[in-house]
Structure 1
Amino acid sequence: MNEKFFDLKKEKQDRIINAALRAFALGGYLHASTDDIVKMAGISKGLIFHYFETKLGLYQFIYDYSIRVINLEITTGVSRDITDFFTIREEIERVLSICMEQYPYIQLFLYNAEAEDTPEAASAILQTREGYEAMIRSILDRGDITRFKPEANYQIIDDMIQMVNKEILERMFREGVFQPDGYYEEVMKYMNMLRAISYD
């Protein structure tokens, strides 16, 4: 984490973070342009390289920062007492929607970073990504799977949730209608349907 960056005013930090999140979420590491990032952020290109040295340094910082933001929210926003699989999933999605109020592209960026195929970028975030995935898995593992029908494989259900949520986000951004509350409401429609058909 580049501590010098945090000496900037919070509003300027967020402009840079949001510009980078948008560029990396929509273009991946390879196609994201630092020229576009500085234009969206309203800063000089020299400032980016002053704080992050390289595009790869910026990418790694943005990924690490995103995970830190989400981890902080999950720590306080997902109850350890809840054991229902779908309720845990709902709480995670609620936390993510809260994060997206400040950083709209944060979750789409993380989804696409999972599939990042530029070797140096994938390698730069690997350790943090694996730690984050293990943390989410440990939360989901608290879920009681005994309520699932024998023919309803909860791991496949979880994969379906991930795929549907990513598609909802991509569609909302593509259509220019993204709102965190609207995203959460739509996600809940699918989640409630899956709960209804998966549980005895």
Structure 2
Amino acid sequence: MVMQELRIPEDKKQRIVRAAMEHFAKNGYKKATMDEIVAAADISKGLIFHYFGNKKKLYLYLYEFAYSLVYDRVVKTFQQEDLFERIRESEQIKLAVVSEYPYVLDFLLSVRRETDEQLREAIAQVKVGRFPPWKETFLPGLDASKLREGIELEKVIKIISWTTDGLLAEHKNDFVLEDVFAEMDEYLNLMRQAFYKEEYQ
């Protein structure tokens, strides 16, 4: 971790992270500029280049930082065998992360849309070295026997993911943690009724 190695003061780290997340999320890698990030973070241009060297290194650091914020906290919750209980716990943690870093999920979604091949390769190297595939962390231990006949576990997980991501996007500008989680709980209960056998609803 670049910032940890150089022992950058925590207040400067937070300003850089928050400003960079917002600008990369809104503009993408190519259109976001270091000048914009420097201005938003209220630090000198020389300082940010001293710590990172260039925009690509900042972007890759930010990707690892943002992904680990969500991944490291969520993976610790994977004790429940019930799909919807596991989702509920992990989404509650994601919501708490979003309340702390409003652009973290937007940034991670923007990373998926990047088309620059060299950047995508660098991102893949960071991910392979640090984060196992979600199938290796999320799926083990789940009880798929509760699902109705003919319903595939991975497709249900995709539907849940699309729903929760959409809900977060909808409440981007009026985010209240308790309200968003309550609404998310309603959708999870609806999906439990739709996808589970009657005796498990």
Shared fold (TM-score, shorter chain, > 0.5): yes
Distance 1:179 1:117 in 2: 33
1:87 to 85, 88, 113: 85
Relative distance call for 1:132 and 1:114 in structure 2 (3 A) is farther
Identity of aligned residues (%): 27
Cα RMSD, aligned residues only: 2.2
Alignment TM-score, normalising by the size of structure 2: 0.85
Q: Distance in 2 between matches of 1:137 and 1:28?
A: 29
d(CA) in 2 for partners of 1:42 and 1:5? 22
Say if 1:50 and 1:75 are closer, same or farther in 2 by CA, change over 3 A: same
Q: Does 1:96 align with 2:98?
A: no
Q: Give deviations 1:160-191, integer Å, cap 9, x for gaps.
A: 12222222233333xx2134444333332222
Equivalent residue number for residue 23 of structure 2 = 23
Counterpart residue type for residue 198 of structure 1 = F
Structure 2 unaligned residues grouped into runs of 5+: none
**How far does residue 84 in structure 1 lie from its aligned partner after superposition?**
0.4
For the pair shown, which has the larger CA radius of gyration, 1 or 2? Answer: 2
Shift of 1:51: 0.8
SS at match of 1:8: coil
Structure 1: 5+ residue stretches without partners: none
Task: Say whether the 8 Å CA contact 1:64–1:128 is kept in structure 2.
Answer: yes
SS at match of 2:114: coil
What letter matches 2:142 in structure 1?
G
Q: CA deviation at 1:34?
A: 1.9
The counterpart of 1:188, out of the listed 179, 185, 189, is 185
Tell me the distance in 2 between the aligned counterparts of 1:167 and 1:75: 22
Aligned structure 1 segments of 4 or more residues deviating by more than 6 angstroms:
none
* CA distance 1:79–1:151, change in 2 (3 Å): closer
Whichever residue aligns with residue 96 of structure 2, its letter is I
Q: How many aligned residue pairs are there?
A: 196
Find the aligned partners of 2:22 and 2:103 in 1 and give their Cα distance. 6
The answer on whether the counterparts of 1:59 and 1:121 sit within 8 Å (CA) in structure 2 is no
Q: Distance in 2 between matches of 1:136 and 1:37?
A: 35
Amino acid at match of 1:93: E
